[in-house]
Amino acid sequence: MCVGLSARVVSVKGGSAVIDASGARRTVSAELLDELEPGDYVMVHAGIAIAKITNSSEEESTQIMEQLDENAPGNN
């Protein structure tokens, strides 16, 4: 099973972003997302910010998690 992680963006520089996930900070690729700013929340999978999370995107986040799970090795 693949698991995505939601995290707050701390800073953005070039195609990378520093994120904070429950106090743990790390740098991830942000090349897939446009207009990412500090304070935004993102879904991160395998070191890549794959989606921006907004208050209205809870359903979208659920769909992304389901797609990640469906595409996981062994689930095909």
Per-residue pLDDT, 32:
95
Domains of the chain, by residue range, sit at 5-60
Residues of the chain with pLDDT under 50: none
3-state secondary structure 24-75: EEEEEECCCCCCCCCCCEEEEECCEEEEEECHHHHHHHHHHHHHHHHCCCCC
Per-residue pLDDT, 76:
59
CATH ID of 5-60, from 2.30.30.140, 3.40.50.1100, 1.10.579.10, 1.10.1660.10: 2.30.30.140
pLDDT (tens digit per residue) in 19-31: 998 899 999 999 9
Per-residue pLDDT, 9:
96
Per-residue pLDDT, 37:
94
Q: Give the global pTM.
A: 0.69
